[in-house]
Structure 1
Amino acid sequence: MGMVKLIRMRVLSLLSLLVLFIPVAISVDDNAKSSMLLFMQRLSPGIVRHAGDNWGWNSSSDPCTGNWKGVSCDSTLQFVQKIVLEGLNFSGSLDADSLCIVRSLGVLSLKGNNLTGGVPGTISNCKHLTHLYLSSNNLSGQLPDGLSELGNLKRLDVSNNDFSGILPNVARISGLVTFLAQNNRLSGALPAFDFANFQQFNVSNNNFTGPVPDGKGLFGADSFGGNPGLCGNPLPNPCPSPSQHKSKKWSVSRFDAYFGYMIIGLLVTAFAVYKISSKLRQKKERNSTPKRKVRNQDITTTSSSGPNAYSSTHKNSENISEFSITSAESGASSLVVLTSPAAKDLKFEDLLRAPAELLGRGKHGTLYKVILNSGLIFVVKRIKDWRISPEEFDHRMKKVDQAKHPNVLPPIAFYCSKQEKLLVYLYQRNGSLFSLLHARRGREAVDWASRLTIAAAISDGLAFMHSKLREDGIPHGNIKSTNILFDEKAEPCVSEYGLMLAHRHEHPNRSTNKTPEQSESLSDAEVVYEATASRDGGFKDDVYRFGVVLLELLTGKMVQNNGTDLAKWVNSVVREEWTGEVFDGVLVSEGASEERMVNVLQVALRCISDVPGERPNMRVVTEMINSIKQEEERSTSSEIIFP
């Protein structure tokens, strides 16, 4: 019995020790909890008393196990890692003295409140902070030098406040990848930032002065604009040279000398104008004949207007006489009209006679807007540097024409010779997805339901074309927002399908939407795609590029904004478990479903996988997006409304 009693006593002692140990193992340090409560009291006085049980933040519960609002902890539930209290209308102040007692804190976000006062210098004691978001409050005063002592800081956002004074030297933080300070009253010179490390940077609309640090072209004028005292690249106003600061005293003799130079210049100019006018007059007389020589090729015309197919009163106009087009050329030499009823009576001479406006030049061709006498408006794309035979071009365009889908813009005619390839489309008046997303200029932004509808329509069109043209090895090859147009019914449609397969690979530093497998330089012997050798690869490229378009819809950011690679940026944010930062602020403010935006983001991330074999095909992508869209349609309208 004595032995049994002894065993019972030891078991009871062990249980007592466990009972004492368990609360300590799953609880945040009492000192840290008390400091957090004081921090909250300063942040919004009285909130703890009136917020209710769902709020937490009281002395009778634990920050990690008591569901304190906005608090996230580590896996052991002992250390507070994140405090995210956004858009809660707090009107108090930031108590860094209390906050920084929580040594484990890595993320603090208080953006979208009404906080006043400044940022205390004791913020430097928050040594583990990696993310600090204070944007869109009423904070003021000078940013403390203590910010520059946060050596672990990666992202700092103090934008849209009323901060003033000189910026602390946050450039000394080697790991900083985001710095946003736009829309304040900060002044003085900018520190010497190393922009090579940055993914986001903006100091626009302040009072900074002096030269812009050398950004190596990574960030554009929108990151520095609104600072009248700043100068140098990428701003339009150059910095003055030392000589410009010196006063210039003009003597009479110097004035006489400059006046003499001016007279000589006028005489030379007048003589040059006379010679040019004479040459133009002679050229006009030669053009009165119905036949002329262009690049050692004969062009026979049937009109008194000559071969000036793209002559126009527009300032951006070109002349088709620059083209090497001749009926004597071997290969296809006349306009091939496809099955579109809009072009059944179209003749090549109609294009030659019609006025044309130059819409733009790209890496792979020139685009013209052509208006016929009948009132029809076409877009003609002149393709250059395409190593493809006329026979293959003819086959490719006819195959694309046969695989019709309402969300894919079909070619209506084409011309192909050894030296020239022209492709004709109907002109789409409603512009592109790129302009809809990025060229707002006071217009209302595109809502979430419309963006989801666009994504579903484009994925459906691509999936259909992939299924019809896979055996022929004809993917799109260049999916991007500028190639997604809106027809007269505001329906999105993919343009230029099948025009990129035989093009040269892009230089890795020049492509605005390149896939990882295209990021390595190729030798001259490898610059041409072979449809049979990389049949599936081209379709996987389409999936990747479509994924980037999804990211553009979700983030509202350009694919390559001042050198920032959108796909890499999104991946880096997601890796840091800060997914909410990805989404366009417009969508967040309208109350778009975060759950469905995250679902679309997951689809996009699968599409942009670095491993082509891990990317889903377009049919699977379409099914996933349509499923998300069906959920959305239960509560919102999916009609596209153009701002």
Structure 2
Amino acid sequence: MHSISHANPVSNTKLVFPLPPHTADATPTASTAAATATAMAFVRQLQPFILLLFSMVSISYAVSDSEVLLKFKSSLTNHTALKSWKNNAKPICHGKRTNWTGVVCHKGSILGLELDNMGLSGTIDANALIALSNLRTLSFRNNNFNGSVPKFNKLTGLRSISLSYNRFSGHIPGNAFEGMVRLNKLYLSKNRFTGPIPASVATLPKLWDLKLDGNRFSGKIPDFKQKGLHVVDLSNNQLEGPIPSNLRKMNADMFAGNKGLCGAPLKPCESTLAEPNDEVPPYLKKMISTWFILMPIAVGIFLLLAIVAFIIIIQRKKQQPAPKVKASSNPKTKTCLHVEDHATVVASLPRSGKGAKPAEAGPKLTFLRDDDDQDKFDLLDLLQGSAEILGSGCFGASYKTTLPNGTAMVVKRYKHMNGAGKEDFQEHMRRIGRLKHSNVLNIVAYYYRKEEKLLVCDFAKNCSLAVHLHAHQTLGQPGLDWPTRLKIVKGVAKGLAYLHKELPSLVAPHGHLKSSNVLLNGNLEPLLTDYALIPVVNLETAHEFMVAYKSPEYVQHGRVTRKTDVWGLCVLILEIMTGKFPSNFLLRGKGSGEEDIVKWVKSKLGDDQRETLLTNLEVFDREMGAIGVGDGKTMMQLLKIGLSCCEDDVQKRLDLKEAVGRIEGLKLRNISCDGDFYSAIASDGEDEGK
């Protein structure tokens, strides 16, 4: 019996259909042809069911996200930091939260991997990540990877790649980033790459932030055509030739350390033009002589007109009335100015449409809270009442305003975030918008504009800790007593620990911890503010002003670590305990030349800290008032914790978890004392000596 067989795409078995018997050399008859046609028709009817079965089998064998990440983990070595990466019943993502370290989630799917500072090495297997269709960011900063750059161009959906502070080396192929049309951030700083900058980088249509500094790239800079480029850091390489015209508006620091580069913003390139011909035609000589005669006359006329215009402008300004500004009647806000007519503030804020008046239309705020019962408002609602200028810092000004329902809010304007793209800024705001802790000031809403950003926060009633430490006498207020200061230190430590827990992908989750960024509520509980700004603040401004970049590890080695915030906590503790303003730590640049508060405290305590407790009591702020007998010992313990957080050597410095544990273990003594501050300290020191 002959048969027709059709291979099954799933099981490779054969479907056998009997045919009428005939001899091998027989000529096909009509009945044979009919039977064949019937069999083929039957096969065509089965085809949809076969395809359906095949698709069901394929779906059943689809790789899960956990399998993808576990396969990726297997390509890494020294992955002890990824202990939470294990196959169990719990999903990786639950909304925006994750159960796996370093995984960034959004709406239940994996949005990125941020595996910074984890001591990882081995191979970054880009092929293993292709199955993560929603993957947008990859960050492997400050690890121990080496070898050639991974083949990320297979992950065409990526928007951000960071491989800085590793040991990658070798040439990067010219087409290494070809086809990555969504990529807008590429960080390859502080590696060992050689050869020319890959040409495909210059063709990425959405690229606006590129950092290739601290490598060994050579040759000429590609001709970048992107209009949205904001940062292109090529410093400390071996590049040469003229800087392309599209990059000439960048800061000169972006090209420093390349001896062969020339052109704006660096020194001009040497001219290669031939020397001019000495034989100048007579008509050209006449034109040149005429030009030299008319030029001084034209300059003189221009200067005369400029002087006249300047005089007219000065006269008009003198005739205009000065704006009415008065001090706030509230003694607690004497440092703030109250704008009687807030039109100036309204005019300076962004408008929703071209030529629109503030009273007619305004920008729309994006709210970060999910509370259904929260009263929504718009920016113009914030301007219905009078505006109170709370202060102006390194990043912009802050205004207090009151909503129609009586709720006080604060609008903070940031002018040094124009390097952050809209999508990245919004993603970062969503991340910090879900933070909720009693010692962290909530961000209620934000407004994005390329030139500046507005953040709307709750109003803290009692101003900043800096005011209470250094300006309370001007405001007619008493200094903070010892129990209040200990409560503030404990609250700051708890808030800082919370930020480090909830923002593990940031090297310095606060990054700007100082007394003016610790606000006090009605109960004098501390609220951390201006946190998590490093990812969105312009690089130059961050290096110039932010506390993280004043730390010993950055000043000495140009690096920020997970213990950098511990250094900020150290200086804050010493400031609270001594009442001494850390000028050299907070002023612009790497130091003001004034004595370091850490060195000052150490010089007062010396080596034998028990003995100097009795002899150098001026290290403590006497504004703390009378204290209970025995509290002097607790104060010394807190001071020692602060000094343990101030070690220049990061390895010797306390980590945040241990520092917070020690601080929370400090207790107030309940024995009252009628004596003054120094006698209580001395009596406690004598008890300790006994």
TM-score calculated relative to the size of structure 1: 0.44
Larger radius of gyration: 2
